Structure 1
């Protein structure tokens, strides 16, 4: 199949139309995807969400750590004694209480494992967002190229029809043509002008979407991409890859693990708890204005709390957690079905686009020859102006179809990579600083205190 014909000619027209004066550098699709990876606000928001989820682990680990509270009391006491009058004195006390959990029904262990599973699920969710953003960026990139190429075709067509209107008018003035020929040429010119206006609007829309997704205006774009060499060769290979590595499936699997630990965590509330509590304090209670008496105290207690009946609330939450677990397992099956359907759809769209390119290339070649023949036949009086106009219209339509087919092929290729879970910066080799989702997690996991985030906020 000829993959470098009319499509790359149209792409060259597109890049020439949007290139900046004096700019020789060509921005590849990989460069645009790298920009989107670094700058896209949706992707950055997903990263922030993951950092927030990371904090669930130190919150769960806090169950192993002591809790310390200080206490200060200041007050006055008045007593009315009968008989004997009344008394008034000021009192003050300070104290410190330390509580250390010894056994919490395995809730700390299970809640920590639950939090870790949720973090892993959120990391896969971040990969899903990354794939969606890169797919949108690739689509926006190809839309800018294809819509600008169509504008170039529409302008070329308008120039051709301008000449046809002039020629029809000249023939009419010398008596070789009719007013009908002139009217037909002018009507087709007006239609071409309308099509050009629509194409210009589509370019503006494509450029706006590109800026939204990538974070910068398109400069000089190149239609070349190496994504085709990374595609699976068969549908079965694509389905196996998606089933084993798609982030939506992996995220659902981790959420099932989190659901299992959630059930165990709630069930732990039905078990006894053991804690150790220590108190130290000092109390001042002056009997008079000239002397102050102080009482120092210290105590250590071991406490065992055995739940007997809790009003049915814990039992209800256990049942609720089990239902949530069942839902997570169903969602895993849903994710598998969705990934399979997306892979089959993307594969079909890719193959259809490849077939459409072959047909469109043949149509362009045939219509080009047909137009040249009709023009020659018109010169010897065997064809009419309408025949030329129709031949030109068919050629332009086939050229637009070819551009659209090439665009659809590229977009379908990126959609297929996303459907099998391989449209990530690492998988397609983007030249960009990778976001390490474990960096923040490692910094906060064992943090005992501190209100400042690792990045200084």
Structure 2
């Protein structure tokens, strides 16, 4: 009777397996015909183009570009026009107590042009500071771009992993449900005790809880995917690693992080900004030389004046030497020196952080390779073990709980393999980010690279205009 029950169970399992495979194949064909599968590079392109975080950083960089024309304005003349007009009531008392009144309408128009010839090199140094700020901002933008792309990779692989976990848990629930049914029939036939059916029911309920948890995690990862990528995930293709773009050794990873990571290069530009700011502050202690030209015309209708109008033109040169300003310039100079010292220390700190991140990413990537290989072997061994336990249970050598434990070992191994495969992909991209090469150009993504220098050259030498290059 046990043999017939086992044969019946094997037949049901084969039928159920065939039905599941047929259903999965049908759904896959239908999904392929309806929605084209999205690959990881395509998802990265969408994130690079539409992610609000990176677009906000690009807008910040365009605003930083405007510091340069503002600094260059110190080389250019300042032109001001003036116009005054009004009514003036006049009451004159003449000899003999004669009172004369009049309503006058005086007006004046003028134009003044002021040109700075020398201001202690403040303009030149201010332009240098603005240009260095632009360079630092570009590196900060590149760093944000790396973070967005890594977030996109993480969101993509999380959805893939959670989808696989949901399918694995569904298969586990189907197996446990079938096991419970077989155990119930064997109980009715007197082959097992009620304890076996209780154990099978308990494992089924645990499987249902695990399936629910996997479905919750999938829904959360799908929401995160939509936030980072810009659209809800549909059918996703398996993700591939990017080891071909990474460093060959750990020493190479550290060296590249020191030289190319955008956080390090941005901190280097910040040191230059702080050092140049010292010279800007010192310029306040030096003389200023300006030349001013002006023309004006005024008219006055007062009949008591000898003239009714005046036309003037003048050119005036002026030299101003600060002697004492209460200590403001001296304090600003000392402050700038301290800021420069701070920026050098920050650069050392960022370099150390880059080294630590590179080493961590390298070790994690190498460890992920080992974890995948070990998990694959574990799944194979657990599959063989489950098949053996099932055969032994059919021969009466194993109990129901042995089968349930072996199935639990298999589903745990599959979950570990899914997580290891996900970590393997993320680790390869993390290593690429740690050396500063997680960008559109390195990944060869099918999208134009955002070039911040285009906007910079559009506004650098602009003398006027309120509209941005985008027309706003």
TM-score, normalising length: structure 2: 0.91
Q: Does 1:39 align with 2:72?
A: no
Q: 1:170 aligns with which of 185, 205, 215?
A: 185
Native 8 Å contact 1:19 1:219 kept in 2 = no
Alpha-carbon offset, residue 132 of structure 1: 0.2
Q: Does 1:429 align with 2:441?
A: no
Q: 1:261 aligns with which of 256, 262, 276?
A: 276
Alpha-carbon offset, residue 273 of structure 1: 0.6
Q: Does 1:182 align with 2:197?
A: yes
Distance 1:323 1:79 in 2: 65
Cα offsets for 1:209-247 (capped at 9, x unmatched):
111111112222122425122221210010011111010
Q: 2:135 aligns with which of 103, 120, 132?
A: 120
Alpha-carbon offset, residue 18 of structure 1: 12
Distance 2:165 2:396 in 1: 32
**Aligned 1:48-127 pairs, distance under 5 A:** 48-75=59-86, 76=88, 78=90, 81=93, 85=99, 88=102, 89-127=104-142
Aligned to 1:191: 206
Distance 2:458 2:307 in 1: 50
Cα offsets for 1:189-219 (capped at 9, x unmatched):
0000000001001111111111111111222
Native 8 Å contact 1:77 1:91 kept in 2 = no
Cα offsets for 1:242-284 (capped at 9, x unmatched):
1110100100111111111111111111110111101111111
Q: Does 1:450 align with 2:457?
A: no
Q: 1:272 aligns with which of 277, 280, 287?
A: 287
Q: 1:326 aligns with which of 318, 321, 341?
A: 341
Query: What secondary structure is seen at the aligned counterpart in 2 of 1:366?
Result: helix
Cα offsets for 1:280-299 (capped at 9, x unmatched):
1111110249x992211111
Native 8 Å contact 2:35 2:234 kept in 1 = no
Q: Does 1:400 align with 2:412?
A: no
Q: Does 1:215 align with 2:214?
A: no
Distance 2:350 2:310 in 1: 66
Distance 1:20 1:41, change over 3 A: farther
Greater mean deviation of Cα atoms: 364-373 or 73-82: 73-82
Cα offsets for 1:323-379 (capped at 9, x unmatched):
111111111111101111111111121122111112111111111111001111111
Aligned to 2:297: 282
Alpha-carbon offset, residue 319 of structure 1: 1.1
Native 8 Å contact 1:20 1:219 kept in 2 = no
Native 8 Å contact 2:245 2:442 kept in 1 = no
Query: What secondary structure is seen at the aligned counterpart in 2 of 1:133?
Result: helix
Distance 1:180 1:135 in 2: 50
Native 8 Å contact 2:157 2:239 kept in 1 = no
Native 8 Å contact 2:82 2:109 kept in 1 = yes
Q: Does 1:418 align with 2:418?
A: no
Query: What secondary structure is seen at the aligned counterpart in 2 of 1:22?
Result: helix
Q: Does 1:409 align with 2:424?
A: yes
Distance 1:103 1:155 in 2: 78
**Aligned 1:279-428 pairs, distance under 5 A:** 279-288=294-303, 293-428=308-443
Native 8 Å contact 1:102 1:274 kept in 2 = yes
Cα offsets for 1:381-403 (capped at 9, x unmatched):
11110000000000000011011
Cα offsets for 1:292-320 (capped at 9, x unmatched):
92211111100111111111111111111
Native 8 Å contact 1:17 1:148 kept in 2 = no
Distance 2:407 2:361 in 1: 34
Aligned to 1:145: 160
Aligned to 2:253: 238
Aligned to 2:20: none
Unaligned runs of 5+ in 2: 1-23
Alpha-carbon offset, residue 139 of structure 1: 0.6
Distance 1:18 1:233, change over 3 A: farther
Greater mean deviation of Cα atoms: 321-330 or 105-114: 321-330
Distance 1:221 1:48, change over 3 A: same
Native 8 Å contact 1:287 1:293 kept in 2 = yes
Distance 1:418 1:18, change over 3 A: farther
**RMSD of the TM alignment (CA)?**
2.0
Unaligned runs of 5+ in 1: 1-12
Aligned to 2:14: none
Q: 1:204 aligns with which of 196, 216, 219?
A: 219
Distance 1:343 1:101, change over 3 A: same
Query: What secondary structure is seen at the aligned counterpart in 2 of 1:426?
Result: helix
